[in-house]
Structure 1
Amino acid sequence: MPRAMHAYFSFIKATRHVIPLVWMAVIGCGIKWGPAFFDNLEDNLDSPRGTPSNLSNHLFFDVDGFCFPDASVVVLQRTDGGGGAAYDITRDPYARDFMKAVREGLNTYELDWWSLNGTDTAAMDTFLVSADRRTTVMALPGYYGCGWYVDDMRATVMQANTQPDKYWAGMTSRDMMDCHNSDAAKDDLGHMDAVSIPLALLVLAWRVQSLPLMCIAFVALPTSLLTALLVLGRTSWTITYPNFSPALFMSTSIAMNFDWSLFLLSRYQEGVRAGRANDACVRDVVVYSGHTVVVSGLTLAIAFLSLAGFPVEFLQATGKGAAITLVSAMLVNITLSPALLLLFPRFFRWQPRCCCRCGRGGGVGGTHDDPSREKLLARRSISGGGGGSGGEAAAAPDAEFARDFELRASRGQHGGPSVHF
Structure 2
Amino acid sequence: MARWTAAVLRLRWLIVAVWIAVAVAGGVLAPKTIDALSYDFGLPGQPGYETNQQIQQTFGNGGATDPLVLVVSLPPGSTVDQPAVRDQFAAVLQRVQQPGWRTVSVLNTAGEAAALVSSDRRTTVALVYPPVVEGPAAYAAALPQLTQTVADAKVAGAPVQVTGVEALVEAGGGSDRPIIVEIAFGAGGAMIVLLLVFGSALALVPLLMAGIAITTTFLLVLGLTTFTEMSFIVQYLVGLIGLGVSIDYALLVVMRWREERAAGAGNTTAITTAMATAGRAVLFSGVTVAISLLALVVLPVPFLRSVGFGGLLIPLVSVAIALTLLPVILATIGPRLEWPRRRTAKSGESRLWHWIGSTVVRHRVVAAVLAVGVLVVCFLPVLGLRLGSPQLSAIATGSGPAAEGYRTITDAGLSPGLLRPVEVLSATASGQLPITIAADDRVAAVLEPAGDPWRSGGQRIAEVVLRTDPSTAEGRATVEQVRALAVAQPGTSAGGSAVEDADSVTAIYGNIGWVLLLVVAVTFALLAAALRSIWLPVKALLLNVVSIGAAYGLTVLVWQEGYGADALFGAQASGTITVWVPLAAFSFLFGLSMDYELFILSRIREGHDAGLATPDATVRGITFTGRLVTSAALILFLAFIALSTVPVVDVKIFATTLALGIALDATVVRGVLTPALVALFGDLNWWWPHRSRKARHSTASRPELEGSVK
Shorter-chain TM-score category?
A: 0.5 to 0.7
Deviates more, 1:145-154 or 1:223-232: 145-154
Distance in 1, matches of 2:6 and 2:156, equals 74
Deviation at 1:219, TM superposition (A): 0.9
Match of 1:189 in 2: 182
**1:314–1:35: structure 2 CA closer, same or farther, 3 Å change rule?**
same
Match of 1:24 in 2: 20
Select the residue among 292, 299, 309 that pairs with 2:281. 292
**1:177–1:20: structure 2 CA closer, same or farther, 3 Å change rule?**
farther
Match of 1:266 in 2: 255
| 2:12 alignment partner, SS class | coil
Asked if 1 retains the 8 angstrom alpha-carbon contact of 2:257 and 2:271, the reply is yes
Q: Which runs of 5+ in 1 are unaligned?
A: 115-120, 355-421
Deviation at 1:265, TM superposition (A): 0.8
Residues 356-375 of structure 1: per-residue CA shift (max 9 Å, x gap): xxxxxxxxxxxxxxxxxxxx
Question: CA RMSD for the aligned pairs?
Answer: 4.4
Select the residue among 7, 11, 20 that pairs with 1:11. 7
Match of 1:170 in 2: 162
Match of 2:596 in 1: none
**1:22–1:253: structure 2 CA closer, same or farther, 3 Å change rule?**
same
What is the TM-score when the length of structure 2 is the normalising length?
A: 0.39
Match of 1:161 in 2: 153
What is the TM-score when the length of structure 1 is the normalising length?
A: 0.62
Deviation at 1:191, TM superposition (A): 8.5
Asked if 2 retains the 8 angstrom alpha-carbon contact of 1:130 and 1:136, the reply is no
**1:341–1:154: structure 2 CA closer, same or farther, 3 Å change rule?**
farther
Deviates more, 1:179-188 or 1:132-141: 179-188
**1:212–1:40: structure 2 CA closer, same or farther, 3 Å change rule?**
same
Asked if 1 retains the 8 angstrom alpha-carbon contact of 2:37 and 2:230, the reply is yes
Q: Is residue 235 of structure 1 aligned with residue 228 of structure 2?
A: no
Distance in 1, matches of 2:110 and 2:34, equals 37
Residues 130-154 of structure 1: per-residue CA shift (max 9 Å, x gap): 9526433443325264699678535
Asked if 2 retains the 8 angstrom alpha-carbon contact of 1:76 and 1:167, the reply is no
**1:73–1:156: structure 2 CA closer, same or farther, 3 Å change rule?**
farther
1:26-105 aligned within 5 A: 26-39=22-35, 44-46=40-42, 49-50=45-46, 54=49, 57=52, 61-62=55-56, 65=59, 67-68=61-62, 75-80=69-74, 84=79, 86=81, 92-102=86-96
| 1:183 alignment partner, SS class | coil
Match of 1:224 in 2: 213
Distance in 1, matches of 2:306 and 2:37, equals 11
Deviation at 1:307, TM superposition (A): 1.9
Identity of aligned residues (%): 18
Match of 2:194 in 1: 201
Asked if 2 retains the 8 angstrom alpha-carbon contact of 1:290 and 1:334, the reply is yes
Distance in 1, matches of 2:230 and 2:110, equals 32
Q: Is residue 132 of structure 1 aligned with residue 116 of structure 2?
A: yes
Distance in 2, matches of 1:304 and 1:76, equals 43
Residues 165-194 of structure 1: per-residue CA shift (max 9 Å, x gap): 624343768699589432368498358627
Asked if 1 retains the 8 angstrom alpha-carbon contact of 2:92 and 2:150, the reply is no
Asked if 1 retains the 8 angstrom alpha-carbon contact of 2:230 and 2:307, the reply is no
Match of 1:375 in 2: none
Asked if 2 retains the 8 angstrom alpha-carbon contact of 1:224 and 1:332, the reply is yes
Distance in 1, matches of 2:83 and 2:306, equals 46
Match of 1:303 in 2: 292
Residues 263-322 of structure 1: per-residue CA shift (max 9 Å, x gap): 211221123223333222222233332222111101110111232223444332222221
How many residues are treated as equivalent by the alignment? Answer: 331
**1:54–1:267: structure 2 CA closer, same or farther, 3 Å change rule?**
same
Distance in 2, matches of 1:136 and 1:254, equals 46
1:333-372 aligned within 5 A: 333-344=322-333, 346-348=335-337, 352=341
- The structure with the largest alpha-carbon Rg is 1
Match of 2:203 in 1: 214
Q: Which residue identity does 1:326 align to in structure 2?
A: P
Match of 2:640 in 1: none
Match of 2:131 in 1: 141
Distance in 2, matches of 1:138 and 1:353, equals 67
Asked if 1 retains the 8 angstrom alpha-carbon contact of 2:52 and 2:62, the reply is no
Asked if 1 retains the 8 angstrom alpha-carbon contact of 2:100 and 2:131, the reply is yes
